[in-house]
A and B are shown apart, each in its own frame.
Chain A
Amino acid sequence: MDTVQPTAVALDEATVAFRLADARVYTAVEKARLSVAHGEFVAIVGPTGCGKSTLLNVAAGLLKPAAGAVRIFDQPLTGLNRDAGYLFQADALFPWKTAIDNVAIGLEIKGAPRAMALERAQGWLTSVGLGAFGNRYPHMLSGGQRKRVGLAQVLIRDPKILLMDEPFGPLDAQTRQIMGNLLLELWTADRKAVLFVTHDLEEAIALADRVVIMSAGPGARIIGDWKVTLPRPRDISEVRMEKQFHELHREIWSVLKDEVMKGYAQSSQAAEAS
């Protein structure tokens, strides 16, 4: 890969803190150091509530770090990250727009003529396998189909960076695999820098070039960074059978397991205290 390309996303000692209702300060993420190269697929895995999404929101510019710096293509990030497309965990489609209008909107707000925006949107709907569903409203689509529309909605703007927050979390296991393969297929065709948050280690290894592990919060840190050298193109369900996959999984899981247990203990303590 071309090494002259600047780093797409660089978090330098980024600390994120929230002020709680009782004026205490809760540090979600502490001194996170993370970089995503141009065209690299990085997955962040961590126990529930460790601040993975927080980190993603920092990269998106939706949250400002309390300390540390965020650089996007070597430029300090101010305001929203205009180079990034964001695929949310929850339903984020505009429910009052049809699927095709949901996809076309990204171009329309940039001032593209409507006819052209619709034509391109139709193209993107076709490439996510929903060519015939353009006139459906989100509530008429299944969860997986809505995610496809969401993917098309983000990709039509051709962002250089793709931020994904457990995008396939709410889907069933089969649909997740299908969506994972679709994502890889689209990503292979046009390599963007991807920051993919998930709590599913298998999904992370199957998709990514690098897997980053976060510790349990509060004050979550990045505690591990593994390269995934499984050959591409990959098929999500087949890659899981490979020996290398299992070895990597065992290695990462031995680190992750402790954090998951810690996170679990903390959340049950919090539940008891309240």
Chain B
Amino acid sequence: MIKKFIILIFIFVPIKALALIEVDITRGNLNPLPLAVSPLSIDETSRKNFEQILDKENIGSEISLIVENNLRTSGLFNPLDKKAFLQAPDIANLKPRFEDWNLIKAQALITGKVNYIKDKLRVEFRLWDVLAGKEMMALAFTTVPTNWRRVGHIISDKVYERLTGEKGYFDTRIIYVAEEGPKTQRIKKLAIMDQDGANNKFLTLGNELVLTPRFNPASQMVTYLSYFKNMPRVYLLDIETGTQEVVGDFPGMTFAPRFSPDGKKIIMSFAKDGKSDIYTMNLETRLVERITNHPSIDTSPSYSPDGKYITFNSDRSGYQQIYVMKNDGSDVKRISFGNGLYGTPVWSPRGDLIAFTKLHKGKFYIGVMRTDGTGERLLTENYYQEAPSWSPNGRVLIFYRETKTNSKGEGFSAKLWSIDLTGYNERLIKTETDASDPSWSSLLSN
């Protein structure tokens, strides 16, 4: 299903590392950096060619809109109104008149050019430091025209990385569960979309209940729970080929699957006789290993990025709490000790934090704590929300939220939301249908 995608990146001007502009990513969006995203300039022949192929009047403007939108939603940047721009896109790309951009208070400027070359889309862009009057970065990409949205995302990632010092998360996808119908009889389908909600596709038909899809590290495979033939089992789906196979074919329910960081194993829960324990299955050898053995419920396992530890949810203390153990199941330690119940621990891609859902006094929270349980920080409170998933750079969490119904049971909805690790920049992710169980892919290009 993933389109064959090759992007050639040329660095055609050496990067002059004059780090005058720096965005402090840890501070939240109190002071987003004002920058100008000049529309990518395009010559008339190229414009007409792309109009024919892509049905977009000006693909240069469209790509710059994607960049603008991405940078704005990050909360770290404030793209300025294009109406205030004094310099035409083609001239700005050659040599910006910095005083003009300074006048509208832009601290950084993005310019670029789009060309149609032998059925291909060639995009070059430059990032300028307006105050210093210097070029910070210049890159060019060549790809098939239908990948134009991804070009916009890659530019966004490069700008984000150059200005914050950390990898971006824009050239990514979200796998989630699309929901429709009354609350008592929800129809659920697997769906996938770009991080900004574009290119939405349904991957299953809704004939059986599906839950909790999660990407493998290469973001080409998905593991999820399906009620196919009324047997809740863990499945594996190849997004590219559409092939599905059962991997958790145990004599009972298997659920809560996730990949190991090397993508070779699936870790999941197996429920039998009222107990749920954690198991792994090696996808190559099909070898099954039991990790926990306890009469309690052990579920929601998630590996540390180095694969050496597992965090999981257990009620062995009497109520749902978060635990950490070695990857062989030894050395189990409880790490959540605050008031309330804790669930859905997920290890951050940086390895230093665990995100979780907390239920306390009738409210649900998404929060983070250090891997030893210290430094608990609650980011958002609501009637019902759970199941955070990390952006690949560990800066943003995506989760789902359900609304309270009225006395007649009406008004139910499920939506995807994201929030920065700082606790700022809470955003609704628009989806065609109701949505839940989001999982963020890794960065598709690197």
Partners in one complex: no
